[in-house]
Amino acid sequence: MGSVSGSCNACGATGTALMKLSLGKDFFGRTYDRLSPSTDQSPKWYCEGCSMQKNLQRDFRDILGEFDKLVAGQGSTLSSQEEFQRASLRLRELSAILGGAAGQSSFLTAADVTQLMGRMQTAAVRT
C-alpha cells in the first residue's frame, strides 16, 4: 500500500496528505538542528491544518523565549528595535489568525498571544 499510512500526530486525521514537520529555521532565522538534533530522530507528521498551527506555535515560542531573555536582562535578539518590531507584528498576525474561524488551535490560544502582546507593549514603553 502507499507509504503514507500514518495519521496526524496532533489531531489523528487519516487519509489526508501528511507533512513532516520541518526543522528549518526558527522565527529569528536560526537553525533548529543545531540546538536540538535529537528532535529529528522522531519526526512528527501533521496534516495541513495542524502543520500550519504548529508553525504559529513555533513562532510564538521563539518570540516568548527571546522576550523572557530580554526581561531577564540576558542577551536577546529582541534587544534590537527592528527585531522587536518584527516580533510584535508577527504576534498581531497570530492573534488575528487565532481569532478567526479557521484559527482554532490545540497548540496555542489567542489568550496566550494577547498576554504576550501586552507584556511586550509594557516593556516597549519602559525602554
Q: Which residues bind Zn ion (CB under 5 A)?
A: 8, 10-11, 13, 47, 50
Residue placing its CB nearer to Zn ion in the complex, 47 or 63: 47
Measure the CA–CA gap between 113 and 98, rounded to whole angstroms.
9
In the bound complex, what is the minimum distance in angstroms from residue 123's beta carbon to Zn ion?
A: 34
Give the H/E segment covering residue 46: strand 45-47
Residue placing its CB nearer to Zn ion in the complex, 81 or 109: 109
Handedness of CA 85, 86, 91, 92 (dihedral sign): positive
Residue placing its CB nearer to Zn ion in the complex, 10 or 87: 10
In the bound complex, what is the minimum distance in angstroms from residue 3's beta carbon to Zn ion?
A: 18
* 81-99 vs 48-71: helix crossing angle, rounded to 10: 140
Q: How many helices (H) and strands (E) does the chain have?
A: 3, 2
Measure the CA–CA gap between 88 and 82, rounded to whole angstroms.
10
In the bound complex, what is the minimum distance in angstroms from residue 43's beta carbon to Zn ion?
A: 15
CA 86 to chain centroid, in Å, comes to 14
In the bound complex, what is the minimum distance in angstroms from residue 4's beta carbon to Zn ion?
A: 13
